[in-house]
Amino acid sequence: MAEKKLAVIAFGGNALLKSKQRGTYKEQIENVTNTCRSLVPMLKDGYNIVIGHGNGPQVGNVMLQHKAGKATYDVEDMPLNFCVAETQGSIGALIEDGLRHIFAEEGWDRDTVTLLTHVEVDANDPHFWNPTKPVGPYCSAE
């Protein structure tokens, strides 16, 4: 049996959330499924795939949800690292759903798996002195 080829794919922001969208489940699953559909030629060509993704807007939304829960119901809000893991899992579920949809369309019996990761960063990294990548929605000064 021939060895399968492996491709590592990065889903950028538009794979999950397009400009002017609110980030609803319906919007995100539609975006992800359409992005997964674009992988069909590669899958037909014999590739296994590993997908990485960003989650900045989703983390920001989850943090806002946690803060609203704290303010409204006194449910403790969670730290950033927990919100990152929460969105990794939910985005992984979206991607798996999108892939399963495509696999069903193609009549394929394939498996998917979501893997959460932890990254340890140096608290003294100079990039923390002047952060340039926001998390969540932009807000006006008011």
Residue 124 near residue 91, CB atoms below 8 Å: no
Domain boundary assignment for the chain: 5-118
CA distance to 39, 48, 63, per residue, from 90 (Å): 21, 22, 14
pLDDT tens readout for residues 6-34: 999 999 878 998 988 988 999 999 999 99
List C-alpha distances in Å: 6 to 42, 47, 120, 128: 10, 5, 27, 34
Q: How confident is the model at residue 122 (pLDDT cuts 50, 70, 90)?
A: very high
| 58-72 residue pLDDT tens | 898 899 999 999 999
- Give strand pairing partners of 7: 49
Average pLDDT over residues 77-90: 93
Tell me which residue has tokens 């449910």.
75
Please determine, for residue 88, whether its predicted confidence score (pLDDT) is greater than 70.
yes
Task: Give the fold, CATH level 3, of 5-118.
Answer: Carbamate kinase (3.40.1160)
